[in-house]
Amino acid sequence: MKTQLNWQVGHTADRTQPPTEFVPATVPGAVQLDWARAHGWPQPEYDPDVTKYAWMEDVFWLYRAPLVFDLAAGERLFFVCKGVDYQFEIRLNGEILHEQEGMFTPVELDLTESAKTGDVLEVLVFPAPKSCATPVDRNQANQSCKPTVSYEWDFHPRLIPLGIWDETVLETRPAAHIRFAEVMYEFNADLSQVTVHLTAGFANPMGQPLRWRLLAPSQAEVIREVETVDADVISVNATLAAPVLWWPNGQGEPARYTSIIELLDHAGHVVQTQTQMIGFRQVKLVMHPTQWQEKEVVQFPKGRHTSPITLQINGRAIFAKGSNWVTPTMFPGTLTKAFYREQLQLAKDANMNIVRCWGGANVQKEAFFELCDELGLMVWQEFPLACNRYEGTPEYLQVLDQESKSIIRRLRQHPSVLLWCGGNELFNNWSKMTDQDLALRLLNRNCYDLDPNTPFLMTSPSMGMAHGGYFFRRADGAEVYQYFAQSHATAYTEFGVTAPANVEVLKKIIPEAELFPPKPGTQWQVRHAFKAWEPHSWLDLPTIRDYFGEAHDLEQLVEWGQWLQSEGYKAIFEEARRQKPVCSMALNWCLNEPWPTAANNSLISWPTVPKPALQAVAQACRPALASARIPKFSWRADETFSCDVFLLNDAPMPVEGDIEVLLYVGGAVLALGEWDNARAEANQNAVGPTLRVVLPDVEPGEMRLAVRVENKPEWDSEYRLLLK
Amino acid sequence: MKTQLNWQVGHTADRTQPPTEFVPATVPGAVQLDWARAHGWPQPEYDPDVTKYAWMEDVFWLYRAPLVFDLAAGERLFFVCKGVDYQFEIRLNGEILHEQEGMFTPVELDLTESAKTGDVLEVLVFPAPKSCATPVDRNQANQSCKPTVSYEWDFHPRLIPLGIWDETVLETRPAAHIRFAEVMYEFNADLSQVTVHLTAGFANPMGQPLRWRLLAPSQAEVIREVETVDADVISVNATLAAPVLWWPNGQGEPARYTSIIELLDHAGHVVQTQTQMIGFRQVKLVMHPTQWQEKEVVQFPKGRHTSPITLQINGRAIFAKGSNWVTPTMFPGTLTKAFYREQLQLAKDANMNIVRCWGGANVQKEAFFELCDELGLMVWQEFPLACNRYEGTPEYLQVLDQESKSIIRRLRQHPSVLLWCGGNELFNNWSKMTDQDLALRLLNRNCYDLDPNTPFLMTSPSMGMAHGGYFFRRADGAEVYQYFAQSHATAYTEFGVTAPANVEVLKKIIPEAELFPPKPGTQWQVRHAFKAWEPHSWLDLPTIRDYFGEAHDLEQLVEWGQWLQSEGYKAIFEEARRQKPVCSMALNWCLNEPWPTAANNSLISWPTVPKPALQAVAQACRPALASARIPKFSWRADETFSCDVFLLNDAPMPVEGDIEVLLYVGGAVLALGEWDNARAEANQNAVGPTLRVVLPDVEPGEMRLAVRVENKPEWDSEYRLLLK
């Protein structure tokens, strides 16, 4: 039985002195939210000045709750806490029971002997970890496992959450109870059989029966074993023929089995039940079909071949398309399954099959991974390292070891979690880590020890892969149409095209007087439209101006910016797919954001407001589509327009059709040509003709390129371009 | 007290049946040598037909020896064996005491309770491991830790040694004795202090005193601690200020301390002593000074930067120059310290500071590493994986785990062993392994767990590095002068230029009738001069013919071939050094060879006969030298000869001088120019002028380029070229 505690929280500069003021605390949550609520501050997501939270980083926060419980004879009392952010100690009546650095390692304390009703349980949360006083930025997080994003990022204000951030309860259990249970499995060579291993641990086992049942996705019982619990840990093995496999979105059903273990008493009554959902799937990172023939490795002196990044699921190499899951909130403690579901459903509906859980942010709560399992969204999971040099000091390695083991043990049960990664951009010159860094060798070690069948990357980008760009037009003037067509990466694991938020979002975060025209020094800047990273990030006014001229009002500016974002994202996703099989992954930066931004690369404004680009990405990520490689965005009359036509297919069955290409310009419809009997094999693309037409001398304005498949309108594509 | 056993060995096809014939066995050694000796066969190194050994791969070999020993009261009897090649079981009077796969894991069996004088100890050696019956080549070793080279290589005949290959004795010990002792250490930040940790394990400790002393290189006692042995394992820590550091050849002295632990009895007498030589040194693989500014990572989409391969020893980045230690014998069991010393001294005298112990061959015996420690030769040590795809089956991973841990535990005590590598060319398309292979992740794990401060590479070449070429002239006609000048690798960890062996070596292995001219199908071919790898490897007659015409006799052919090898190796070593700091490593393929070859890339013919190229390499590897980058080998009259002049310096102090460049051609001496006040800082090069001269119309023949440093003849260089 689980009961919630009635928490209060207060702060103190001196850990030996109690706070002078306590306010009600929501657990899980964050101390900042409790304090703001109690003092009538605006909701921080809409607060024009979050610098008012700055002092909260550097004080101690003391949670306290009275214990109220009843124990039947033989029952045990546990304090069970899934996570406290970040360094903390737990005290009972002032006596320290537990000390810990690290928010991802759960705590379970047996209070049976030490606590009585009316006692006070306290959780003292230390100031946010900082390896240095200055610079006041992410560098301060380079000796801790505290996610760096809240130390300020180009889309996140400086605001470092602290406090009890995951489920925390008082729990009574019978004397003999299940402590943990985990089902692992291994396939035979052709995946026609799995051997399933149950390992379960018990407190005070008394020779009771344990019943283990495995239910198929159809709910049919396929395994039923009864064992006697006569040891602290017992193992049970069973084999299962012809398992129904878990497949990612677009490749099949994300089928899951249910493992149910029941501890019975000697009379045969169920005392305790634990369930685990299991998806049987095999994952490998494999070389793409031409990778062993790479040109640069043909002649001596020869180097090595590129690292593999093609995901092979259940023996099938697939194209991974999706997005970077940055952080959907500044306060991970507030995240709920319902909130996760809204965003993840949007990702699935956008035909994505993968999310990269970026190392700058929190490792998500359990509900996130349950939903990814359910929706068939693959998860690339990073450890909490990003854009820093994490020196391998003994102190840091000890915390990283503990935290990474906790993360792996929790997440390895999820079929969706099928790629571990050390962290973000660690081998780039703003981080300056290398393959030799002890932190990364430790992570490889822990992943190997605890989850060897899941691939491991030290960082992204790894060899062959690429990050960026983040603008429709690069500093040298190249547009996404050109610079991605010229690139030959094996995976584009971050790329962004920026846009302003929808008008209604902007009106919530920017005072009416500042709304138009956008200027630096206003809420536009606070909300990352200017100087977030470069002077014009993320609004990128110069590019909008160059293509379209001066906007007359906010609505026009937003329309133009979102037009570029939609077309830019479509261009990149489709170009990455056209580069299949050399390229096997395209993940835009980014899906979501932690608070409402005025402009960003995200597809969703906080909390769950899609930008038009989300629909454009959904189009570009359809399992099959007719696609055109377009040389550029902006055209002039009398120029020869050209495009290369493709039939892209990521689906596990062939597709075919008759394709025609039309250009709508200034009221005219120009037929560029046809591609009859286009056919793409399962999970392969087909390359069609290059078509050309001279542009007529008509009124400047929007120009639309349509690639149509006869009787298959669901494969049609349309591109919005500009005639100047 | 250690005593040798009196061994015999015989073979049997059926492991349950004893051999019908036993012959005297030399231990350590190899069953093949014992059999050949007993039957009057020729020494295998000079045998024209070693296919007569083929059947020996596939039978069981049974060693037997009677036990003869005296035990005083309380004494224990141990069978101590450092290695049996490859799978074996140990029996006493027919009863199995121990079973093992793997030649690098030592065995220690306490026979006190089970053996009496007159009993028979047997070691049953299994047939050579083969994962498949065909092809009859190195593929057969792809599921074992048996070194692949003996399954046939381009310089090694098919001949797979088996048997007891390392020191094996019967040992009596007092009841209470030292089981193991190891000293580890860690530096403070500026290396001004080391903390030294002794860990020692004991059998039957009885509270006796243990005395631990550390002697400085000067033999002065710098640590003396006395502890009471009251547990199975005890640890003692001590700190040492201003340690004298171990330096590789050319950078300082390979200073070593001596750790002496003495177990005393209660009367204070020494019962047992163990010593360990310790070299205090810090090793890191670091990025070269311009690596974080690499061009290809400047613009989005951006990849990662290259992996680091610059060895930084005691805080000083150094250029590693040396050779690939392949295998100096077909029978590693025969290797002795005296033999190792001869070859390693040649390497040191050639100004080398590193040897790469290639993964195709055996991990060497202890004496090898002791000598490398003593001589200041750094060791790049690979695990026994080479040019195969080692699938990570549970069976293979179990053996690899055991063997790699044994290797790491033995070698980590040596200051010379400062780079671990998973194996040879595993990421190339003849092996098809990748960063995701479990075997390599396991090796990373074990190196991290057991020796974290020593860098680890998964394979060679790793990212940025290169292997090859192996001929003076590449298939496309490019000479080493050109193709290395055009390359930009961070490390050249294999490159070869082939040559015939010296005339006296050839006369020992090739019948007089076949000696000249060399032809395929003769002993020239058996000895790798033809079709070893390509049709003309390793004699490369077409290249010799193209430059020099048809040789009149063997002596002329050898002179010409060795001329190309000498100049080729000089060109590559010096070019690699000129590319410093981007390049930081040059290791030629190879130093030695397992039997006398007719032609090979080696610098030493078996057993220890230097080719002239060894002296050329010694010249190119001098700490400081004046060097010329030469465009090509063969010139014509009236062509403009040119060269770029450099002052190369790998020494830890600056060098300077006045340089003049002269060309000796057809009796004339042409002065190309001078470079006054050339100065290269410590461990840095200096770039001088490009000098040109029109070649006179004189008799074709040898042409010599001399780069002279006034008053520093030890820095002079000379290059032998051709005027055609």
Those residues whose C-beta lies under 8 Å from the C-beta of residue A499, and which sit 6 or more positions away, are A558, A561, A562, A564, A565, A566, A599, A600, A601, A611, A613
Q: CB A466 to CB B438 under 8 A?
A: no
Least Cα distance to A60 among A40, A84, A41 occurs for A84
Those residues whose C-beta lies under 8 Å from the C-beta of residue B631, and which sit 6 or more positions away, are B481, B482, B642, B643
Q: CB A429 to CB B297 under 8 A?
A: yes
Mean pLDDT of B147-156: 98
Mean pLDDT of B654-661: 98
Express each pLDDT in B374-428 by its tens digit: 999 999 999 999 999 999 999 999 999 999 999 999 999 999 999 999 999 999 9
Give yes or no for A197 touching B (CB within 8 A). no
Least CA distance to A458: which residue of chain B?
Answer: B435
Closest CB to A308: pick one of B436, B469, B483. B436
Give yes or no for A423 touching B (CB within 8 A). no
| Torsion sign (Cα): A693, A699, A701, A707 | negative
With a pLDDT cut of 70, the percent of chain A lying above it is: 100
Instruction: Compute the distance between CA of residue B325 and CA of residue B553 in angstroms, rounded to an integer.
Output: 32
Mean pLDDT of B355-384: 98
Say if residue A298's pLDDT is above 80.
Answer: no
Residue type at position A508: K
Q: Could you count the other beta carbons within 10 Å of the beta carbon of residue B43?
A: 10
Least CA distance to B436: which residue of chain A?
Answer: A455
pLDDT score recorded for residue A296: 66
Instruction: Compute the distance between CA of residue B297 and CA of residue A487 in angstroms, rounded to an integer.
Output: 12
Give yes or no for A337 touching B (CB within 8 A). no
Give yes or no for B500 touching A (CB within 8 A). no
Least CA distance to A186: which residue of chain B?
Answer: B394
How confident is residue B206, by pLDDT bands cut at 50, 70 and 90? confident
Beta bridge partners of A227: A210
Express each pLDDT in A506-523 by its tens digit: 999 999 999 999 999 999
Residue B82 has what DSSP assignment?
Answer: S
Average predicted confidence (pLDDT) for chain A = 97
Quote the strand ranges of B40-101, DSSP E: 60-66, 76-81, 84-85, 87-92, 95-101
Instruction: Compute the distance between CA of residue A8 and CA of residue A64 in angstroms, rounded to an integer.
Output: 5
| Torsion sign (Cα): B549, B555, B560, B564 | positive
Express each pLDDT in A327-336 by its tens digit: 999 999 999 9
Least CA distance to A292: which residue of chain B?
Answer: B429
Quote the strand ranges of A538-623, DSSP E: 585-588, 599-600, 604-605, 609-610
Give yes or no for B632 touching A (CB within 8 A). no
Give yes or no for A390 touching B (CB within 8 A). no
Q: Which of A187, A288, A300 to mutate to test the interface with B (most CBs of B within 10 A)?
A: A300
Give yes or no for A702 touching B (CB within 8 A). no
pLDDT score recorded for residue A206: 87
Q: Which residues of A touch B432 (CB under 8 A)?
A: 287, 292
Beta bridge partners of A226: A211
Give yes or no for A464 touching B (CB within 8 A). yes
Q: CB B308 to CB A465 under 8 A?
A: no
**What angle do helix axes B438-450 and A438-450 make, rounded to 10 degrees?**
120
Mean pLDDT of B368-372: 98
Q: Which residues of B touch A495 (CB under 8 A)?
A: 301
Residue type at position B667: G
Give yes or no for B486 touching A (CB within 8 A). no
Q: Could you count the other beta carbons within 10 Å of the beta carbon of residue A523?
A: 19
Q: Which of B186, B290, B302 to mutate to test the interface with A (most CBs of A within 10 A)?
A: B302
Give yes or no for B333 touching A (CB within 8 A). no
Instruction: Compute the distance between CA of residue A234 and CA of residue A637 in angstroms, rounded to an integer.
Output: 77
Q: Which residues of B touch A489 (CB under 8 A)?
A: 301, 303
How confident is residue A499, by pLDDT bands cut at 50, 70 and 90? very high
Give yes or no for B300 touching A (CB within 8 A). yes
Give yes or no for A433 touching B (CB within 8 A). no
Q: CB B445 to CB A448 under 8 A?
A: yes
Q: Could you count the other beta carbons within 10 Å of the beta carbon of residue A296?
A: 9
Q: Which residues of B touch A464 (CB under 8 A)?
A: 303
Q: CB B436 to CB A456 under 8 A?
A: yes
Closest CB to B452: pick one of A305, A438, A448. A438
Give yes or no for B600 touching A (CB within 8 A). no
Structural domains of chain A, with CATH:
2-173 (2.60.120.260), 177-283 (2.60.40.10), 321-620 (3.20.20.80), 624-723 (2.60.40.10)
Say if residue B296's pLDDT is above 70.
Answer: no
Closest CB to B441: pick one of A438, A448, A484. A448
Q: Which residues of B touch A477 (CB under 8 A)?
A: none
Q: CB A436 to CB B308 under 8 A?
A: yes
Q: CB B461 to CB A304 under 8 A?
A: yes
With a pLDDT cut of 70, the percent of chain B lying above it is: 100
B525's enclosing H/E stretch is helix B523-526
Q: CB A444 to CB B442 under 8 A?
A: no
Q: Which residues of B touch A498 (CB under 8 A)?
A: none
Mean pLDDT of A673-695: 98
Least CA distance to B572: which residue of chain A?
Answer: A301
Beta bridge partners of A182: A199
Least CA distance to B188: which residue of chain A?
Answer: A393
Closest CB to B427: pick one of A305, A449, A456. A305
Closest CB to A303: pick one of B299, B436, B461. B461
CB-based contact B585:B493 (threshold 8 Å): yes
Q: CB B297 to CB A495 under 8 A?
A: no
Average predicted confidence (pLDDT) for chain B = 97
Mean pLDDT of A290-299: 81
**pTM of the full predicted structure?**
0.98
With a pLDDT cut of 90, the percent of chain A lying above it is: 98
pLDDT score recorded for residue B298: 73
CA distance, residue B428 to nearest chain A CA (Å): 6
Q: What Rg value do the Cα atoms of chain B yield, rounded?
A: 28
Express each pLDDT in A374-408 by its tens digit: 999 999 999 999 999 999 999 999 999 999 999 99
Q: CB A297 to CB B429 under 8 A?
A: yes
Those residues whose C-beta lies under 8 Å from the C-beta of residue A176, and which sit 6 or more positions away, are A202, A203, A204, A205, A206, A208, A229, A263, A271
Burial of B218 (0-12, 13-18, 19+ CB in 10 A): exposed
Closest CB to B429: pick one of A285, A292, A489. A292
Express each pLDDT in A196-220 by its tens digit: 999 999 999 889 999 999 999 999 9
Express each pLDDT in A345-378 by its tens digit: 999 999 999 999 999 999 999 999 999 999 999 9
What is the token pair recorded at A205?
């086992």
Closest CB to A461: pick one of B292, B302, B455. B302
Instruction: Compute the distance between CA of residue A488 and CA of residue A579 in angstroms, rounded to an integer.
Output: 8
Mean pLDDT of A489-495: 98
pLDDT score recorded for residue A30: 98
